[in-house]
Structure 1
Amino acid sequence: MSDHSERAREPLQRAERAVRILDVAADLLARHGYRRVTMDDVAAQAGIGKGTVYLHWKTREQLFGAVFARELLRATDDLQQAIEQDPRTCLLHNFARAYYLAIVDRPLLRGLLLGDPHLLGKLTDSPDAARNDRHTAMAHDYLALLAEHGLLRDDLSMGEIAYAYQATFEGFLRAEGPTSTGGPEQHAELLARTVRRAFENEETPDLPLHALATATATLLGDLIDADRAASHLP
């Protein structure tokens, strides 16, 4: 192979190696938690030298932060795709169902959103404030879209709906577990019914949802782009 071809492959090889490191780190974190996983563990499991890991991430916190950022990106992407496939997903109760299912089978992401100290370790004390601000702004813009289309109850303020919806969603996530009755699909459906009765108009306006779905998918796409740019993921 020529020197030119070898140099051309270097970025691809670097990206593939980074993905491998993230996959290994995610697996170790899910099994052992933050405090019990070292860079040595990640390197050994990935079959590379520890110095190679440091070529990609300078600290353990940066590496594990990238793992959680990737999980969040994947779930947000799943949600965007669900809306693109079925415009009705843009309605709040369907949105809640789709996002719940995107999270519940990702234990690392569930731990991130619920602030699990076993999984997060030091990251609990240093949350990504910029990312949190982006997600809060997106949620506000999404609820504003729904309100403009007459899809939310009007006897609660936007702030009240945002707070109560978040508390409801997180409550369902916290309750999910091996001892809970039913399964994720049933719980997601129950969440959807709860959200619909609590926060949406009793009579949903008869309106075409294509424009609203497109606007919602665009909000999610912008959020994905911003998160990906900030995380420097491969």
Structure 2
Amino acid sequence: MFCLGPGVALFLSACPALRPPVVAPAPAAATRLEVSRVSERGLYLRIPPSPTAAPARLRLERQQGDEPATPLYDLVLSEPQQHAWRQGALELLDPQGVARQNLRYTLLTSPQDASAEGWELSASLETSSRALPAPPSTFDVTSTPEGLLLHWQARPAQRTRLMRRALPADPAEGDAPWEPLADLEPAAGARFLDRSARPGQAYAYIAQHVDDRAPAPHFGPFGPPTYAVAPPQSEPPAP
């Protein structure tokens, strides 16, 4: 997925001299916008595979209710970004799009890379986002002969995602990366037995809740980590 964030976009609020674009109506085979996910970073808009050719330039605006439209991006697409457009792998991040109602996004495109003229209305989307779900509470781990048992307070109708990181015996070795451990549906309950933990290895675990209601999954923040050491390997009984 090719995600564009504020660090690679030109925010028009810093360019008051830019003229408003002259916009043509949308073509019959219009591009679409959809919300792919919402997280602590913001609201992600995805452009699904489009029957239209990749543009040279795009402009994205956000409007909430009756407020004036806020320009978010005015971007000349590179070759990799145009390829991502054709593959349906181009995402646009709105860092301020969390927990907002009555949002309207407007996507304008142009076949030219440096002109205020020739803009075409490619897509618009009306949507809303919710507050992100809180992390699992009372998240803890217990060592058992079968492995490390994670348990927490579940939230109705929300998935639980678990991540794990092995802790080095020598702090000078540095931390290992977080790795996905499990993605549990609500019906799975609020317990998970980590049978893959290596005997004697220390681990850190974190968890988050995911609200899958429309328009897109809302990924809540991870809670604080909990720690445990996997039980040592049991010795076989003496003959």
Larger strand proportion, structure 1 or 2?
A: 2
Please tell me the TM-score bracket, short chain as reference. Answer: under 0.3
Query: With structure 1 as the length reference, what TM-score do the two structures score?
Result: 0.24
Query: With structure 2 as the length reference, what TM-score do the two structures score?
Result: 0.24
Greater RCO (Cα-Cα under 8 Å, separation 6 or more): 1
